[in-house]
Amino acid sequence: EPRFANMTALITGAGSGIGRATAIRLADEGAALALVDLNETGLEETASMLPEGCRARIYVVDVADEKAVETCAVDVENTFGGISVLCNNAGMICEGSWGRSQEDFADWRKVYEVNVLGAMLFTKYTREQLKASGVGSIVNTASVAGIRAGAGGNAYSASKAALINFTKTSACDFGEHGVRVNAVCPGLIETGMTKPVFDYARHAGKEEKLGSRAELRRHGDPTEVAATIAFLASKDASFITGQALAVDGGNTSS
Ligand code: NAD
């Protein structure tokens, strides 16, 4: 039987990149999907890429909008009868912050609202569904930037470090209910978020620099992160909780 047969997964940031690859992966393995993003066109595109017969619904929601998250969670419960997998994957970086420190209060607040509070809100409003499923699992998309100083600016790095710690405290909160909570920490992956970096490197003829921080000397593909998210969300990881697993080609290993 497929690993996610008779299970529903809610994925935020499902309109692009890693979230889209995760949606396709979980659907291929039998999951029904609640797909959340700000970007409606992106969500429709993701939905059109799912295998035939996959049950999916799209939700245009800002993960930092408490009321919208609560409404979404209620609709998901009514539509699917609750979720057993939550992927808090939506995230953002401030425009122009690559490689720089930010000191703008509004930038810091925005990054924290989406990257940290967004995960907190979906965790809060799906808590009872996850507990009731009996096999509940949360996977948060953090970053290698949350492990050491990252390329996306200090606000982004600090927000991802906060998300890693929130993953661990959530694992404590949920443990007695049998719900596991883990994080993936991707290295450099080619997605919408990193497009400026890839465009710049290609334009400047510095493509080989893109993977230079990874032991494997390359950047990663969203499907490689999606495969890890699927593993952590599945019963194959039934004794793993509170972990932050780097999917980074060895970027943080030395
Ligand atoms: P992406 O830009 O392709 O996808 C992110 C998606 O999140 C977009 O569709 C965007 O519309 C959505 N989103 C942003 N803010 C939102 C909000 N407030 N509410 C709802 N949706 C929102 O980028 P990606 O690389 O696939 O990013 C996915 C996750 O992976 C992010 O959390 C990112 O920080 C993390 N990450 C990415 C990399 C990388 O190299 N690409 C590395 C480490 C971590």
Q: How far is 9 from 12, CA to CA, in rounded Å?
A: 10
Q: How far is 123 from 46, CA to CA, in rounded Å?
A: 23
* 1 falls within a domain: no
Q: What pLDDT does 97 receive?
A: 66
Higher-confidence residue of 102 and 3: namely: 3
What type of residue is 138? Answer: I
Predicted confidence band at 254 (pLDDT cuts at 50, 70, 90)?
Answer: confident
114 CA distance to ligand 1 centroid (A)? 10
* 254 falls within a domain: no
* 253 falls within a domain: no
Q: What pLDDT does 102 receive?
A: 77
Q: What pLDDT does 73 receive?
A: 99
* Closest CA to ligand 1's atom 7: 13
188 CA distance to ligand 1 centroid (A)? 12
* 70 falls within a domain: yes
10 Å Cβ neighbour count for 98?
16
Do residues 18 and 189 touch, judged by C-beta distance below 8 A? yes
Do residues 227 and 25 touch, judged by C-beta distance below 8 A? yes
Chain center to CA of 28: 18
* 2 falls within a domain: no
* 64 falls within a domain: yes
CATH number for the domain spanning 111: value is 3.40.50.720
Do residues 192 and 147 touch, judged by C-beta distance below 8 A? no
* 252 falls within a domain: no
7 CA distance to ligand 1 centroid (A)? 24
What six digits make up the tokens of 210?
Answer: 């893109």
Query: Has 112 been annotated as catalytic?
Result: no
Q: What is the DSSP letter of 116?
A: I
Q: How many domains does the chain have?
A: 1
* 85 falls within a domain: yes
Give the DSSP H or E segment for 242. none
Do residues 220 and 186 touch, judged by C-beta distance below 8 A? yes
Q: What is the pLDDT of residues 81-131, one digit of tens each?
A: 999 999 999 999 987 666 667 778 998 999 999 999 999 999 999 999 999
Domain extent at residue 127: 8-247
Catalytic residue from among 59, 112, 156, 200: 156
Q: What is the DSSP letter of 76?
A: H
Tell whether ipTM is more than 0.95.
yes
* Ligand 1 environment, Cβ below 6 A: 12-13, 15-19, 37-39, 42, 62-64, 89-92, 114, 118, 141, 143, 186, 188-189, 191-194
Determine the average pLDDT of the residues in 128-153. 94
